[in-house]
Each structure stands twice: as C-alpha cells, then as structure tokens.
C-alpha cells in the first residue's frame, strides 16, 4: 500500500520537473503562415537578393533582418525562393498549442516512467533478496 503512494508522489514531482529538466519549458515552436501577396517590387527585390545575397538589400522588418543575420544564409535563401514560388510572403508566429502539447507530453511520459520505476524496482530488489535468502538457506542446509 505504501509503495504505490511513494511511486505516485515521485511521479508527480518528476512530471512537474520534467519540462525544466528537459528544457522544453522555453521551446518556441514556430508556424509559418503564407498570407501577404508579394507585389512586383517585392518580387524584384527578392530576385535581386538571390543574386547579391545581401540581407539588407530589400526592405523588411527589423525582426526579419535579424533572422537573416542570425540564421545560415542558405536557410534564408530557401525561404526567399519559397516566397517567390508561392507569390506570398511568409509570416512566422509562435505556436503556443504545440509548445503546450510538447510540455504536457514530456510531463506525462516522465511521470509514467518514474511511477513504473519507483513501483517495480523495489519489487525487483525484494525478489533478488528473496532468492539470495533461499540460496543461503540451501547452502547452509
């Protein structure tokens, strides 16, 4: 009776600590939304960018310019090519539902595994101890 209470308590504490232990509490998943159609000027600027590979060449928001400077140029080039193919500009938004689902999944899995380990490992030790006592009695008989 006491063993499952200990296992459950450990599982709850582990589940609460899991997002912090696995560092998923601050993961920011990003969703891409293709919403704004490109104007002819935008298309021309993006084509020129692909030729010059200069992040500051065309007018974008400061966030996009920072993302261009912070990521690999090939990745940014691929985004620009995709924008030209679709004819729409990509906007990136944080996806809170995915973040929440990831954290809940990590917490549930960790809690379940800790419960099983805390419940089964003592049973394993009791079984090994029982076998050792039997063997000892057999040797002394």
Burial (CB count <10 Å: 0-12, 13-18, 19+), residue 15:
buried
pTM of the complete model:
0.55
Token representation of residue 100:
């929440």
Distance CA 27, CA 19 (A): 10
The burial of 47, by beta-carbon neighbours within 10 Å (0-12 exposed, 13-18 middle, 19 or more buried), is given as middle
pLDDT digits (tens, 9 = 90+) for 76-107: 778 878 888 888 887 777 788 888 899 999 99
Phi, psi (rounded to 5 degrees) for 34: -95, 100
pLDDT digits (tens, 9 = 90+) for 29-72: 777 676 778 888 888 888 887 777 555 554 555 555 545 555 56
């Amino acid at each position: 009776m006491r063993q499952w209470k200990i296992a459950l308590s450990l599982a709850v504490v582990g589940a609460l600590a899991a997002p912090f232990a696995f560092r998923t509490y601050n993961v920011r998943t990003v969703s891409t939304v293709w919403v704004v159609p490109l104007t002819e000027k935008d298309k021309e600027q993006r084509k020129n960018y692909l030729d010059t590979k200069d992040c500051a060449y065309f007018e974008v928001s400061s966030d996009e310019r920072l993302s261009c400077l912070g990521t690999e140029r090939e990745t940014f080039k691929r985004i620009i090519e995709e924008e030209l193919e679709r004819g729409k500009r990509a906007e990136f938004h944080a996806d809170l539902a995915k973040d929440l689902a990831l954290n809940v999944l990590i917490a549930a899995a960790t809690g379940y595994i800790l419960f099983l380990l805390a419940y089964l490992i003592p049973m394993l030790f009791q079984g090994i101890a029982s076998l050792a006592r039997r063997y000892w009695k057999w040797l002394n008989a």
